[in-house]
Structure 1
Amino acid sequence: MSTDTSPATGIADSAAYVVRRPHRSSFLTLRGLRHHVLRWGPEPDGTRPLLVMVHGWMDVGASFQFMVDAFHEDRSVVAIDWRGFGLTDSTPGDAYWFPDYLGDLDALLDALSPEAPVDLLGHSMGGNIAMSYAGVRPQRLRRLVNLEGFGLPDTAPEMAPARLASWLDELKETPSLKTYDSVEGVAQRLMKTNPRLSADKAAWLAPQWSRRGEDGRWHILGDPAHKRTNPVLYRKAEALACWSAITAPTLWVEGSETQLSQWWGDRYPREDFEARLAVVKDLRRVTLQQAAHMMHHDQPEALARAVQDFLG
């Protein structure tokens, strides 16, 4: 069997990934920061809700390309790069705060769909942001899709001194992310992190996920300050107060190969998560086979079907 070599990465594969629905890039200033906005499909005309998609930690909006390509019909879709990721400005100062993501999302909807409710989809960190937002602004959403936004293990007040001390110590250091000598190295990193990611998709995603710097090396498009310890404790009770206020029909999607213990060990048992999800009033669930946390890369066709079936 003959193979081609991707011009972007040099990775040999049976064929380069072919984009069916190219995205259009633009920029919006939201709360003083220049945000990168990706758009697919026709411009909204009021006949059906805008679909807004928000990515996870150390990811970019272009990561949804494979799922959008798998949709069986065109619709108006928007994704953003969160502050400090992709082509969006980094936050001023040296720290990132969860409420700022809600503020940025609220400003985005004010700009793109000020009157009509939207369909909102979030992955991982983006799923957690979407869940909180859906409880705070229930009138802004028609339907909600959460792709493995599990939340975090609960914390106790006595953890505060050590957490704050860690944050203060880390402020004295300059965080960094690994750089790569080629975009091929970035693609290899993506496949190492997610062995289910095919070479053609990795080759396409790598130049969306990184940029070549003046030093000639390829730099991940993420502010290293994201690596700092969050000094604000995660309060399960506060998160659940938001989840309980969600009124939009909600779809929970997870991969059959995802294991909570891979991130948190025994600090976040599955029973705890199931109890949290039970507070969502109108919930449907889908498990994608042969998929893990990066399901939009692992099984984009199956995910697209599940999302479209739910959104109608």
Structure 2
Amino acid sequence: MYQTQRPSRSEFVTIRTLQYHVRRWGDASASPTGASLVLAHGWMDVGASYQFVVDALSEAFFQGRQIIAPDWRGFGLTAAPTPADHYHFADYLADLDQLLDHYAPSQAVDLVGHSMGGNIAMLYAGVRPQRIRRLVNLEGFGMPASQPSQAAARYAQWMDDLRRLERGEITLKGYDSADGVARRLMKTNPRLSPDKAQWLAQHWARPDAQGQWHILGDAAHKIVSAQLYRVDETLAIHSAIAAPTLAVQASDDSMGQWWKGRYTLAEFHERLKVVPDCRTAVVQDAGHMLHHDQPQAVAALIEHFLWDKKH
């Protein structure tokens, strides 16, 4: 199994109505830049997912720096709200806002987000621009543009999904062992090595009393959002981002695989033009889980960008 170089501390903090679980590395004292580093995970992932990147950071960068990675509500060890049959995206912004109040009450932070976490990070940086010193978005592309004419069908789908969840038709698959979880992770991401998959499985899932392993994620996350994705609203928020921003994508075209031409990398790059200070980078030989595939390259990009003396 993968051997961590920099073990994290696991802690819980009261955020709104929840006991939020947070992975914490490093020193709580001021970092060389005066900024804590906050790592936001993606959908059906956990904060521990950043372990490989944290291990790959240089000692000079790591020393004296507080690094935190929360488990979003209903993921990892942060329990779902009770009762909960769906999730509102805006809650992630409010949760992050209060997490920063707790961990970095008087300073702007460096914020890194992957996938869903990248979308959260971009929105939060536009809503609270004074709270973010620098921003790194790892494959957080947003969604295809929607049309108002789609709203009625979307609300109907949402209501139908709620009933399907109640009937037990929307679930997360169980596994007979941690090895089964690891095999699932490697099937989803063929670049993931067995040692990393075994390590991630211990954090991504837990066994029940009968020894069946279950993903640490609430099935209600699979409920479609009742609201359409509004590109004009998103771009207006992104245009308010004050922090220097780095948008990182993998060499594999995740969007081509997901959207089949409905939303492309070219369109994503066009949207990035509204961000006042934004540059881009590509991680070679990597897919959507680029922080697992090439943690050294991702760590180097983050480190160089956060230490760039030009800003």
Per the shorter chain, which TM-score range? over 0.9
Q: What secondary structure does 1:196 align onto?
A: coil
Distance 2:156 2:268 in 1: 29
In the alignment, does 2:231 pair up with 1:245? no
TM-score, normalized by length of structure 2? 0.93
The aligned counterpart of 1:256 is 251
1:152 partner letter: M
1:213 alignment partner in structure 2? 208
Post-superposition CA distance 1:237-260 (Å, at most 9, x none): 010011110010001111111331
- Identify the match of residue 202 of structure 1 among 163, 180, 197: 197
Deviation readout 1:75-112 (Å, 9 max, x if unpaired): 32000000000000102321100100000000000111
Q: Deviations over 1:249-275 (max 9, x none)?
A: 001111111331211112113332121
Q: Is the 8 A contact 1:181 1:218 kept in 2?
A: yes
Which residue pairs with 2:306 in the alignment? 311
Asked if structure 1 preserves the Cα contact closer than 8 Å seen for 2:126 and 2:237, the reply is yes
Give the aligned partner of residue 236 of structure 1. Answer: 231
Matched, 1:130 2:114: no
Deviations 1:139-162 (A, max 9, x none): 001100000100000111111111
- Per the alignment, residue 42 of structure 1 pairs with 27
Gaps of 5+ in 2: none
Q: TM-score, normalised by structure 1?
A: 0.93
Contact 2:251 2:285 in 1 (8 A): yes
Indicate if the aligned counterparts of 2:35 and 2:110 stay in contact, CA closer than 8 A. yes
Q: Is the 8 A contact 1:258 1:291 kept in 2?
A: no
Aligned length: 297
CA distance in structure 1 between the aligned counterparts of 2:4 and 2:211, rounded to whole angstroms: 27
Give the ranges of 4+ consecutive aligned residues of structure 1 lying more than 6 Å apart after TM superposition: none
Identity %: 57
Q: Which string of whole-angstrom CA distances, capped at 9 and with x for unpartnered residues, describes residues 195-254 of structure 1?
A: 000111001110100000123200000000001111110000010011110010001111
Aligned to 1:298: 293
Q: What is the CA RMSD across the aligned residues, in angstroms?
A: 1.0
Say whether residues 1:288 and 2:283 are aligned partners. Answer: yes
Aligned mates of 2:71, 2:213 — CA distance in 1: 19
Q: Any idea what the Cα deviations from partners look like across 1:20-39, whole Å, max 9, x if unmatched?
A: 00000000110111110110
1:87 matches 2:77: yes
Moved more, 179-188 or 158-167: 158-167
**1:172 aligned counterpart, secondary structure:** helix
